[in-house]
A = this chain, B = another copy of it.
Amino acid sequence: MNLYLAATYIRDARYGRNGQFETDDNSVRLYNLYNHWLPKGVAYFFILLLLALAIFEKPAVPGLEIEYYVTMPMEVICLIVIGSRLFHLRRFSPGKTFYSDKKNLVVMATMIVVVIDMISYIALVNSGQAMYAYRWSRPLRALLLVNITEGRQIRRAFRNIRRTLPDILNVLVLFFLSIALFALMALKIFERRPELRLYTDDSPYFKHYGDIYFQLYVLVTTANSPDIMMPAFDSNKWFSLFFIVYLVVCLYLFMSIILAVIYKNYRKHLKNEIKKSVFIKRFKLLRAFDELKEQVEGKSVVTEKTWNAVMKEVLPNRTHVYYSLLWMVLDKDVNGYIDKKMFLQVADLLNVEVSEVRNQKHLIEKYYPHIYNSSISIAVRQVVMHKFFRYFFDLAIVVNAFFIGFNLDEAEWFFLSVFTCEIILKLYTYGFREFCRRFWNIFDFIVISAAFIATVIEAALEELQYSRETLDVLLVLRILRLLKLVGSIDRFKIIIGTLTNIAPSMFTYGGVLFVFYYVFAIIGMEVWGTMLSGDPNVSFCNNSNLNGSEFARDHYCNNNFSDILTAFVLLFELMVVNQWHDILWYFFSAWARLYFVAFHLLVVIVVLNIFLAFILEAFMLESSLSTGKFSNAVEEKIKEMGMWVSKKPLQEQLPVEHVQIEAPQSVLVDNIEVHPSPTPPPAENETAEAADVVPEMKERRPRADTGLRFRIARRGTRKTEILLQRMFESELLHEEGQEMPTTENEIEEMEPEEIRPTPLTLDNVT
């Protein structure tokens, strides 16, 4: 019975980690160190530093350029850190798994390539061949971000994209064939009409097949929407029919189908991923069970003694009372042991938030009870709890918005003090702890204090005639205060609530976009970095070819690849799609077209549509969960045993109006808005563990009835991923007979259940 090892497995199950390690003590210890937040944080910091080097390397952000003999040592340090983390991983990984894991190989290969690139760059520069010296390995840096173990969520998103691609490919091929057909028609129709061979600005219209094809592709992005039609339309109105039919087919129909195909596949892969994390959880728990099991009455079970011992390893910061509480839930028939089936629910149980239930006394009440319970104080609290108190401040926000809009700055201090008063009064009435439990209170608090600080600084700076840039930032903070308005309308809270639920996953897609942006930005900088100058004093962007071009006319000179930040802005503009053919007018070579079509296909058509599919699924999930089908076995049990903080359904998430002022605290406990459960997503989440360890646990001995209660998050405030697990868990339970993958790698590489259509090959196309 190896408690330390079992505790590691349980922790893995709880956080959904899928690490593989040798089971000797040393390896397990290394594994736990590997998962500690500090080495992880260090690794992340150095990867980000490596990526950030692009800001300082040539072509650098103006004013921040650092010579290569400074950046390269930094790069080497970053690589050493990443390499040592990889070495750390190697130390505890079982023999083959390290080298059979593609992501480790990718990281190692990338590091080798980067080193070769650095050496050849130094060699070229120092041998006087600086004009041939490119840092061509820089786009590969993004690979490190994706493939390092920490990039799990991003890697999952990439896997999703990779698996969706073959299915979209069919539609894309059909789409490109359609464009080809329409382009052929356009060629045939317009080549007979010499009067149609010119745009209105005398540039050639529909030059040749390739040009028509590209123009029609741009038309699908709607970027050249009426312009491309106008010459034909001016000559004969019926020509518009061609463009309308084209847009209906290629824009409205095909783009919808692409979204549909992506959505369909997204759901398929989502289910697979969730299944995978459930498998990981069970797999780890089974291993832990095998470590802890004893033979009682001929059955393999875990006894209470073992339980308490292993819990001390898993959660050293919790008290014995907490362990007993968990045991009470698990050992329902009070026979002193739990079997395998119950043990498999340990991870879910650990993820249920536990809090101390007790008549929490307000600090003021504690130290100055006669003041807090005086009639004036009660009256004040009564006023604060009244709904008109809220209405008054909602109105104040609206009035404030008008004052800001009409530049009536004199009232600024007045509003600020009004809102500060609101917060102080709420703090006084509800107490700090209750106040903080409500998301919108914290939101208000942050917004108002930011505005307060901003206004103070602004007042100070106005005296000093400080730079306007700083003032702008402060001003924005001040206006953000109006966001309070959103928080004061219930039905917006629901939308925002859903959004905050799915926010972590949204950041994942932000990460995916960042990877694509980084690669494309670096490539763009290397190829077209020096072509243009954004200097407004230079005419035609310092490029005489642009004389008379639309690019120069529209003053697009700053849309260039001169440094990585500008390149990111340019790529964002391309992602928004409008005017991209104008933005890129100045380098319409075949390669440039390829570059942008690739960017458009990958980012706009694939990634943004997957993001859209994600949002769609998240909203659909919300609605199917509101039917309450997916409640968890553990939660059911806790409710059965009456060991949970009962929460009457809150019609509104507002200060509880029906609370009698006579005993506000004791009743409040039953009516408080529930703090979203910090059940962490299966990925590593350090903060979650920290949040679980409620500090007062250590200080105060709970009372006889343990004083501990489980806090079950309301539907809608749960993490989406947890909900998804629930959704498919019932399905998984039915498939008990089915064999489970036995090694971690098998789980990681699990394919979606449905048989995918055979990929498009030359053989089955023809």
What residues make up the interface of A, taking CB atoms closer than 8 Å to B?
170-171, 173-174, 177, 180-181, 184-185, 187-189, 192-193, 200, 209, 222-227, 229-231, 233-234, 236-238, 240, 244, 247, 251-253, 256-257, 259-261, 263-264, 267-268, 391, 394-395, 401, 404-405, 468-469, 471-472, 475-476, 479-480, 482-483, 485-486, 489-492, 494-495, 499, 534, 536, 554-559, 565-566, 569, 572-573, 576-579, 583, 608, 611-612, 615-616, 618-620, 623, 757, 760, 764-766
Contact = CB atoms under 8 A, between A and B. Distances in A.
A556 B230 contact: yes
Contacts of A234: 534, 536, 555, 557-558
A188 B765 contact: no
Contact of A765 (B257, B489, B534, B620): B489
Which 10 pairs, one residue from A and one from B, show the smallest C-beta to C-beta distance? A225-B578, A260-B619, A200-B555, A256-B615, A222-B578, A225-B576, A240-B569, A226-B573, A260-B616, A188-B475
Contact of A391 (B394, B757, B766): B766
Nearest to A395: B766
Nearest to A261: B619
A483 B181 contact: yes
Contacts of A534: 234
B491 A764 contact: yes
A405 B573 contact: no
Contacts of A188: 404, 475-476, 479
17 contacts: A170-B494, A174-B495, A181-B479, A187-B405, A189-B476, A222-B576, A224-B578, A226-B554, A227-B554, A234-B536, A247-B572, A247-B576, A257-B499, A259-B616, A260-B615, A260-B616, A490-B764
Interface of A is mostly: helix
B184 A495 contact: no
This chain's copy number in the assembly = 2
Given A200-B554, A222-B577, A569 B233 contact: yes
Given A469-B238, A556-B226, A578 B578 contact: yes
Contacts of A394: 766
Nearest to A754: B623
Nearest to A398: B766
A559 B226 CA distance: 9
A326 to B, nearest CB: 37
A615 B264 CA distance: 11
Given A188-B476, A225-B573, 19 more contacts: A184-B401, A184-B404, A185-B475, A189-B476, A223-B578, A225-B578, A226-B559, A230-B554, A230-B558, A233-B569, A234-B557, A234-B558, A240-B572, A251-B576, A256-B612, A257-B619, A260-B618, A261-B619, A267-B620
